[in-house]
Amino acid sequence: MNSSLRKTLRMIKFEHSVFALPFALSGAVIAANGMPPFADFGLLVLAAVFARSAAMAYNRIHDRHHDASNERTANRELVVGALSVRYAIIFTLLCSFAFIGIAFLLTPVCGWLSLPCLAVLLGYSHLKRYSYLCHLGLGIALGLAPAGAWLAVNKSFDGDWQLPLIIGAGVSLWVAGFDLLYAIQDIEHDLQQGTFSIPARFGMKATKCVAMVCFMSAVVLWGNGNQQLGLGPISMLGLALVAVLLAVELFLVHRYGKEKIPMAFFKVNAWVPMVYFLSLVADINY
């Protein structure tokens, strides 16, 4: 693989697309009451990848000076000079324009709404310098995906538009919950830098309690969405497994602290969107 491409994929943590993509596609499946048209499906995947890539690259640009002073992030590409800031800016712009263009291809209303959506995605990088709501801000950025995908397939606001909003609200709280746990790793650094972080301000115990409430609320919202869709035992079984995964994630952080956060985040939490999506597709189709 080309060295610059490999560094770029590493900069934007491309493999973490698994956190957002299944929930985006869930919105499309709900709109189509099954698998959406292949063209829409393909464009949605591209839109989600470009939107996330733009947001991640922008975050790396914005945070590069803070990353340099944090041992955990000091080896990131823009910090060590593996990629230039100019390169990252151009990459961000190209991904942003690609996202907007694909949104217009899906439907004009998606095209116009892609502009405020992009503002939310990029705005998270600034929010964490001003508000403790930054964790929820990241959640909202990812929670827009199911509603956007639903609109892209449905082509208008006609129909049960509240369903993808319910799913998206669950995504927002789920993301906020795991971002809270992930931020525990940076408590000392965030205190030094004055970053608005709930773990740094209120401590680990309060953070774990808030994360638990976020996870429980997410499961309730997803269950409500499944009920409104009239789904059966397959989706409920999937949701039960999701609840178990979230409980395991909380247990790992509670029992082992910072040591197990990477495992909780990358090996347990990563399965949540995939399990939800597969159980949704299976229930709707079978």
Q: Which residue has the higher pLDDT, 129 or 225?
A: 225
Count, residues in the chain: 286
Cα separation, 171 vs 262, whole angstroms: 20
Q: What confidence score (pLDDT) does residue 70 get?
A: 86
Q: Which residues, other chains included, contact 209 with Cβ-Cβ below 8 Å and sequence gap of 6+? A: none
- What's the pLDDT at 121? 94
pLDDT score at 198: 92
In 72-153, DSSP assigns E strands to: none
User: CB 51: neighbour CB atoms within 10 A?
Assistant: 29
Instruction: State the Cα–Cα distance between residues 24 and 27, nearest whole angstrom.
Output: 5
The reply to whether CATH 2.30.30.100 applies to domain 3-285 is no
71 pLDDT above the threshold of 90: no
pLDDT computed for residue 1 by the predictor = 53
Average pLDDT over residues 86-112: 97
Average model confidence (pLDDT) for the chain? Answer: 92
CA–CA separation, 217 and 170 (whole Å):
7
pLDDT digits (tens, 9 = 90+) for 138-164: 999 999 999 999 999 999 888 888 999
Report yes or no: 55 and 88 within 8 Å, Cβ to Cβ: no
Task: Specify the pTM.
Answer: 0.94
User: What local confidence, expressed as pLDDT, does residue 83 receive?
Assistant: 94
Separation between Cα atoms, residue 119 and residue 126, nearest integer Å: 11
Q: Is 54 a residue whose pLDDT tops 90? A: yes
For the cut 90, the answer to whether the pLDDT of residue 167 exceeds it is yes
Other Cβ atoms less than 10 A from the Cβ of 90: the count is 12
Q: What is the pLDDT of residues 4-39, one digit of tens each?
A: 889 999 999 888 877 779 999 999 999 999 999 999
